[in-house]
Amino acid sequence: MDLNYSSEELAFRDEVRAWLTANLPADLRDKMASYEHLSKEDLVRWHRILAKQGWVAPSWPKEWGGTGWNVVQRYLFEEELGYAGSPPLIPFGLTMCAAVLLRFGTEAQKKRFLPRIYQGDDFWCQGYSEPGSGSDLASLKTKALKSGDHYVVTGQKIWTTLAHYADWIFCLVRTDPGSEKRQDGISFLLMDMKAPGITVRPLILMDGAHEVNEVFFDDVKVPAENLVHEEGKGWTVAKYLLGHERMNTGRIGESKRQLAALKEFSASRRNDERFRDRLSRLEIELTALEITNLRFLDRMRRSGQPPGADVSMLKIRGTEIQQGLTELMMDAADPAANDDFSSSVRKKYLSTRKTTIYAGSNEIQRNIIAKMTLGL
């Protein structure tokens, strides 16, 4: 096992870092540094800057616009984005739906959707969680009944991130309610958010942000050609997609940037031994997480296979470290201060509470590791 970067990989990292320094707009960098709200226009603008450079979809095949980078280069690129403080590349289209289309989609579906995802012409969201069907995703109840050349969809999704920005949503729906196994009879549909019968209602989080939503489907007609893979085999697609989602939740580069900011912000607490101890422990945990991520990369580099169930380790530790960093920021901030920075730190703290829940709660991730890796 080789956990060291080669000289070529280090040169690549330096090239990416220099480009980001020169091309990341200052106003977007400042918004990220102060934890300000990012509009749809902010997100799409950064997406299109990277698309113009040819770097917006590194993992895609070259014929569809990919860079041809190996798995280590792609990892380095993602971490440099986080370390530079760039706006996030929203994963629902670029990482998740695209991965599904490339693996399971028809040629017609690829030609229709992939170029528009690449250029940022279509903004996507994910329709998985439902009231009562979050971590237990196989219990979903949204129905899609076949009627001629289309499906009629009825039901509800919840906690749908950025649905109020989205042009399209990919959904898990139940096409065969009579299946004996809950995982059977589920299908994967692509739905136009402008279709009649779709209603988006905001859910305001405790940090005051409008990030997630409820989405209602009232007899929504979806062309049958928007079915991805086979009818009733959507669970296979969902499992494939979730592996890609969880590989990207560690956010090591972003956590390194937050750690550096925390050290600078808390310099006045150098004599607080308890605080220094907690900060040091968190830095060690972040280093250990980075080494664990490198182990996954080395395995993927040698095998050419996607991550397995044990990738859940990255999601668990990565999100817990993110929360730990914001907890220390709160401790370092003046609780009575009303300045912009202290206010933004409080918002960041509240926003980070959700990281251990999305993409499958950390409790569920531990169950996955126990079942799939330890055989319990």
Write out pLDDT tens, residues 92-111. 999 999 999 999 999 999 99
C-alpha 318: how far from chain center: 13
Query: What is the average pLDDT across 206-219?
Result: 94
* Predicted local distance difference test score (pLDDT) of residue 339: 67
For the chain, give every domain's residue range. 7-89, 124-232, 249-373
What gap in Å lies between CA 366 and CA 16, rounded to an integer?
35
pLDDT grade, residue 2 (50/70/90)?
A: low
Give me the percent of the chain exceeding a pLDDT of 70: 93
| pLDDT band, very low/low/confident/very high, at 5 (cuts 50, 70, 90) | confident
Q: pLDDT band for 72, please (50, 70, 90 cuts).
A: confident
CA distances from 180 to 58, 141, 176, 184, 230 (A): 40, 14, 10, 7, 18
List the catalytic residues. Answer: 245
What pLDDT does residue 312 have? 81
Q: What is the pTM of this model?
A: 0.87
Would you say domain 249-373 falls under CATH 1.20.140.10?
A: yes
Per-residue burial over 46-62, b if 16 or more Cβ lie within 10 Å, else e, is bbebbbeeebbbbbbee
pLDDT above 90 covers what percent of the chain?
61
Fold for 124-232, please state it. Butyryl-CoA Dehydrogenase, subunit A; domain 2 (2.40.110)
Instruction: Of 19-33, 154-168, 321-335, 354-368, give the lowest mean pLDDT range.
Output: 354-368
